[in-house]
Chains A and B, each alone.
Chain A
Amino acid sequence: MPTVISAAPSLLEMRGISKQYPGVVALEGVDLEVRRGEVHILLGENGAGKSTLMKILAGAVRRDAGSIAIGGRLCGMESPRAAQAAGVSIIYQEFNLVPHLTVAENIFLGRELPSRVPGVIAGKAMAAETEKILAQLEVAIDPQAVVSRLGVAEQQMVEVAKALSIDAQILVMDEPTSALTEKESTRLFQTIRSLRSRGVAIIYISHRMEELFEIGDRVTVLRDGRLVGTRSIAEITMAELVRLMVGRELTEHFPKQRIARGEEVLRVEGLTRHGAVEGVSFSLHRGEVVGLAGLMGAGRTEVARLLFGVDPMDSGSVWIKGRACRPTSPRRAIRNGLGFLTEDRKRQGLVLCLDVGENTCLASLDRFSTFGVMRPRAERAEATRLSNGLRIRTPGLGQRVVNLSGGNQQKVVLAKWLCRNADILLFDEPTRGIDVGSKVEIYQLMNQLAAEGKAILMISSELPEVLGMSDRVLVMCRGRLTGEFSAAEATQEAVLKCALGAPPS
């Protein structure tokens, strides 16, 4: 149980923070007060202003108005260096490590310890110091290991170690568990607790509600750039939190509708890519959402990539709408009616420097061109229709997708496949990094698509989502299909058991 030290003095006080971007008010008079030795959760839908607030704290973005005080002393925070000097350290979702340098070199980057010879770095002293910090964290990482060889969880620990090495009093963590396995997350929580007991203030951003109750002491909720309120975690329920975030109560977490199952549209037999996927067979019907569960690295994304023709398969057969076809390229797969909502929408799903309309229509330019010449009016009309239908929140179709929130970006990717009229949809972690409100919207869209007779294969690492939204659940472990359940049979325990490799009983 989280403990709240109510009388603890506040370490950080941000008052009346405002920030305006051209055309958008990102923050308006937001206050944030964080105490020594607490885990302070920062909560809000995507686009609520959490990241901007943290970037202001870290000196990466300049505020238009407001004051920041640490330990009662006003701080300007005009640069990342100034923020560091004031004891603020931030761990971004995308780590700021140099992949080809060692752990020790990364930790001391920019503050290398000098040896007696001027200009020469004291490598041994740095390694020794790093070892000391890592020992404090109780993690076994070699200070001389090259960072690119480390796993995500280890890299995260290196970031934490780096923050400790500069004596950070305030540590900001932006979705630290989004890429970690459950075990690694548990490990991270231990570290966070030990930091807390040493008086470090931790500001923790996450969309995973369960986590907040496990690790948080207090929570501050932002909505549309404004402060909604700060509460003690012990005195609030999840439903209340969700209401604060979205300004409305979400009655049903998973609004699943069952649709009568239609004809078979996809049949896969013995799908194999050595070392990743071994002999996977399943089928997909119209009107059906099939969940594909499993742990990270179980080969789920690889199955989708094989079906979409991104990677070549070693053996196996695929029938689409009764016709045998070998997926050899994404182009061919798309022609056959497949759409692929990738896990990493920024790197694989969107062209960030193009606008909403251009991204929406990217996979179907043939529909909007005559002999290669675009028909902007037709394109605009269709993009408008989809943007309205999916309720994409954007100032206009001409807005670059890089400026949209995660949930809206995901909807743009979805719009791209709807524009193409794909009827076999491969969704890879469709709600990852998306706020609660948008999640429900995505679920509702999945219902609607199923009702229209489309077939959806949904890869997800969130068990509640798999169980809540699927008509059938497939489970993979180490490249193999280890279980198949109907919605009625699928329980958390049964699915997990298969995911861990135990045969279904």
Chain B
Amino acid sequence: MRSWRPSIMTLPRRLAPYARQFGTLAVLVVLGIALTILTPYFLTVANLLNVAQQTVINAVIAVGMTYVIISAGIDLSVGSILAFAGVVLARALHAGLPVPVAIGAGLAVGIGCGVVNGLLITLGRLPPFIATLGMMSIARGAALLATDGRPISGFGSGFRWIANGQLAGIPVAVVLLAALYAAAHFALVRTKFGRYVFAIGGNEEAALLSGVPVRAYKIAIYAVGGGLAALSAVFLTARLNSAQPIAGLSYELDAIAATVIGGTSLMGGEGSVIGTLIGALIMGVLRNGLNLLGVSSFVQQVVIGVVIIAAVLLDTIFRRRKR
């Protein structure tokens, strides 16, 4: 497998690195076809838009997770950062601050938590697992402290437009998600930032000895991860019309799952944002389909677990064949 980086390859070869994404895409298509046959409710515009909106939260977090994992790191704190950023945003709105300012405050909290993660990992030399595990607890606790453990609900229609509004018949959140993925993909394959993310994940020492400012970029990567967790908090808060300090529990695991299903290697140095989007959609479609089929949520958990394992297993077998 090759990551999604057609950067300086000749045109015919450009298709080769997409092979892995085609595989994941095929799974998504097969899943769609199966659900279309099994239930008349799946393939309707309303339901598909619903799936898209359901997927937004996970998909936004998973973009940041993809960067983090390609750089050979991990971020367990994004679910908690979502909750913390969400309650800060909610309190700012209730304090009467204009919507953009309140959103800015929420994003700042997320980016700030990410920067702290990055500092702990670079200057503190902590393993990313430990640093973000600590942050996971700290941010959750901060969210609970800031709200006394109670949800903050009821916002103006201007803010809720982010979740309810439509642009040309398409939900605003879905439009924003598409724009985010386009930007994130571009950043990964066509910018210096993206190249350095791959280089750091592939061989940190070689990157350092090539003059890559590894520390600064790592901090930036975790800041992006935290910022995107905060952005998903904006969507979630607007949709629920409520910010809850216990929101986003185990969302980090969903994001990791989407990233891994999408073909990003936990070893670092390989991966793609598009794959992650497909991974998030597979998870979204699966949940939606199982709901439509009336499968209990307990069974759903089992099915999703099986899908994660099957996706990575297939990938491993595929790679072993190529050897």
- B-binding residues in A (CB < 8 A): 22, 61, 308, 310, 330-331, 334-335, 340, 342, 347-355, 357-358, 362-363, 365-366, 369, 372-374, 376, 379-380, 383, 396-398, 400, 416, 420
Interface locus among B161-169, B195-203, B301-309: B195-203
Contact A358:B203 (CB < 8 A) given known A348-B209, A349-B209, A398-B9: no
A54 CB to nearest B CB, Å: 16
Contact A396–B10 (Cβ < 8 Å): yes
- What are the interface flags for B164-206 relative to A under an 8 Å C-beta threshold, 1 for contact and 0 otherwise? 0000000000000000000000000011110110110011011
Chain A residues whose CB sits within 8 angstroms of the CB of B254 once the complex forms: none
Contact B211–A22 (Cβ < 8 Å): no
Chain A residues whose CB sits within 8 angstroms of the CB of B322 once the complex forms: 22
B113 CB to nearest A CB, Å: 24
Please measure, in the bound complex, the distance between the C-alpha atom of A374 and the C-alpha atom of B194, giving whole angstroms.
10
Please measure, in the bound complex, the distance between the C-alpha atom of A115 and the C-alpha atom of B270, giving whole angstroms.
46
Contact A363–B206 (Cβ < 8 Å): no
Please measure, in the bound complex, the distance between the C-alpha atom of A334 and the C-alpha atom of B191, giving whole angstroms.
21
Contact A374:B195 (CB < 8 A) given known A331-B211, A397-B8: yes
Question: Ordered nearest first, which 5 A-B pairs have the shortest CB separation?
Answer: A398-B9, A351-B202, A334-B211, A380-B8, A353-B269
Choice from B3, B190, B269 contacting A374 with Cβ under 8 Å: B190
**Closest residue on chain A to residue B207 by CB atoms:** A351
Choice from A61, A330, A351, A365 contacting B203 with Cβ under 8 Å: A351
Choice from A347, A358, A380 contacting B205 with Cβ under 8 Å: A347
Contact B209–A352 (Cβ < 8 Å): no
Contact B206–A348 (Cβ < 8 Å): yes
Contact A347–B206 (Cβ < 8 Å): yes
Please measure, in the bound complex, the distance between the C-alpha atom of A331 and the C-alpha atom of B212, giving whole angstroms.
7
**Closest residue on chain B to residue A369 by CB atoms:** B192
Chain B residues whose CB sits within 8 angstroms of the CB of A374 once the complex forms: 7, 190-192, 195
| Count, A-B residue pairs, CB within 8 A | 100
Question: Which one of B10, B199, B207, B210 has the greatest number of beta carbons of chain A within 10 Å?
Answer: B210
Chain B residues whose CB sits within 8 angstroms of the CB of A334 once the complex forms: 210-211
Contact B203–A347 (Cβ < 8 Å): yes
Chain A residues whose CB sits within 8 angstroms of the CB of B2 once the complex forms: 400
User: Is B240 in contact with chain A by the CB < 8 A criterion?
Assistant: no
Contact A365–B192 (Cβ < 8 Å): yes
A36 CB to nearest B CB, Å: 33
**Closest residue on chain A to residue B7 by CB atoms:** A376
Please measure, in the bound complex, the distance between the C-alpha atom of A347 and the C-alpha atom of B205, giving whole angstroms.
7
Contact B208–A330 (Cβ < 8 Å): yes
Please measure, in the bound complex, the distance between the C-alpha atom of A265 and the C-alpha atom of B190, giving whole angstroms.
36
Please measure, in the bound complex, the distance between the C-alpha atom of A352 and the C-alpha atom of B202, giving whole angstroms.
7
A166 CB to nearest B CB, Å: 25
Contact A351–B8 (Cβ < 8 Å): no
Contact B270–A353 (Cβ < 8 Å): yes
User: Is B125 in contact with chain A by the CB < 8 A criterion?
Assistant: no
Please measure, in the bound complex, the distance between the C-alpha atom of A218 and the C-alpha atom of B313, giving whole angstroms.
46
Can you name 8 A-B residue pairings with CB atoms under 8 Å?
A: A310-B209, A348-B206, A349-B206, A362-B206, A363-B211, A374-B190, A376-B7, A383-B8
Chain B residues whose CB sits within 8 angstroms of the CB of A416 once the complex forms: 210
Chain B residues whose CB sits within 8 angstroms of the CB of A340 once the complex forms: 209
Choice from B5, B195, B205 contacting A365 with Cβ under 8 Å: B195
Chain A residues whose CB sits within 8 angstroms of the CB of B213 once the complex forms: 331
**Closest residue on chain B to residue A362 by CB atoms:** B210
| Chain B interface residue count, Cβ-Cβ cutoff 8 angstroms | 31
Chain A residues whose CB sits within 8 angstroms of the CB of B191 once the complex forms: 369, 372-374
Contact B9–A396 (Cβ < 8 Å): yes
Chain B residues whose CB sits within 8 angstroms of the CB of A355 once the complex forms: 8-9
Contact B195–A363 (Cβ < 8 Å): no
Chain A residues whose CB sits within 8 angstroms of the CB of B5 once the complex forms: 358
Contact B211–A358 (Cβ < 8 Å): no
Chain B residues whose CB sits within 8 angstroms of the CB of A366 once the complex forms: 192
Contact B203–A352 (Cβ < 8 Å): yes
User: Is B13 in contact with chain A by the CB < 8 A criterion?
Assistant: yes
**Closest residue on chain A to residue B190 by CB atoms:** A374
Please measure, in the bound complex, the distance between the C-alpha atom of A313 and the C-alpha atom of B245, giving whole angstroms.
49
Chain A residues whose CB sits within 8 angstroms of the CB of B198 once the complex forms: 351, 353-354, 358
Chain B residues whose CB sits within 8 angstroms of the CB of A363 once the complex forms: 210-211
Chain A residues whose CB sits within 8 angstroms of the CB of B206 once the complex forms: 347-351, 362
Chain A residues whose CB sits within 8 angstroms of the CB of B209 once the complex forms: 308, 310, 330, 340, 342, 348-349
Contact B207–A362 (Cβ < 8 Å): yes
Chain B residues whose CB sits within 8 angstroms of the CB of A357 once the complex forms: 7-8
Contact A379–B7 (Cβ < 8 Å): yes
Choice from B8, B10, B199, B208 contacting A379 with Cβ under 8 Å: B8
Apart from A362-B199, A373-B191, A374-B191, list 19 A-B contacts with CB within 8 A: A330-B209, A331-B213, A334-B211, A342-B209, A348-B205, A348-B209, A351-B199, A355-B9, A357-B8, A358-B195, A358-B198, A362-B212, A363-B210, A365-B192, A365-B195, A365-B196, A373-B192, A374-B7, A376-B190
Please measure, in the bound complex, the distance between the C-alpha atom of A4 and the C-alpha atom of B2, giving whole angstroms.
49
Please measure, in the bound complex, the distance between the C-alpha atom of A355 and the C-alpha atom of B203, giving whole angstroms.
13
Chain A residues whose CB sits within 8 angstroms of the CB of B190 once the complex forms: 373-374, 376
Contact B8–A330 (Cβ < 8 Å): no
Contact A398–B13 (Cβ < 8 Å): yes
B315 CB to nearest A CB, Å: 15
Please measure, in the bound complex, the distance between the C-alpha atom of A77 and the C-alpha atom of B113, giving whole angstroms.
54
Chain A residues whose CB sits within 8 angstroms of the CB of B3 once the complex forms: 353
> Which residues of B from 199 to 255 have beta carbons under 8 Å from A?
199, 202-203, 205-213
Question: Which one of A334, A353, A369, A400 has the greatest number of beta carbons of chain B within 10 Å?
Answer: A353
Please measure, in the bound complex, the distance between the C-alpha atom of A213 and the C-alpha atom of B245, giving whole angstroms.
75
A363 CB to nearest B CB, Å: 4
Chain A residues whose CB sits within 8 angstroms of the CB of B195 once the complex forms: 358, 362, 365, 374
Please measure, in the bound complex, the distance between the C-alpha atom of A181 and the C-alpha atom of B202, giving whole angstroms.
32
- What are the interface flags for B1-39 relative to A under an 8 Å C-beta threshold, 1 for contact and 0 otherwise? 011010111100100000000000000000000000000
B202 CB to nearest A CB, Å: 4
Chain B residues whose CB sits within 8 angstroms of the CB of A22 once the complex forms: 322
Please measure, in the bound complex, the distance between the C-alpha atom of A362 and the C-alpha atom of B213, giving whole angstroms.
12
Chain B residues whose CB sits within 8 angstroms of the CB of A376 once the complex forms: 7-8, 190
A134 CB to nearest B CB, Å: 35
B16 CB to nearest A CB, Å: 8
Please measure, in the bound complex, the distance between the C-alpha atom of A22 and the C-alpha atom of B209, giving whole angstroms.
32
A327 CB to nearest B CB, Å: 12
Please measure, in the bound complex, the distance between the C-alpha atom of A244 and the C-alpha atom of B203, giving whole angstroms.
37
B10 CB to nearest A CB, Å: 7
Choice from A335, A347, A396, A400 contacting B13 with Cβ under 8 Å: A396
Contact B9–A397 (Cβ < 8 Å): yes
B210 CB to nearest A CB, Å: 4
Question: Which one of B3, B8, B190, B196 has the greatest number of beta carbons of chain A within 10 Å?
Answer: B8
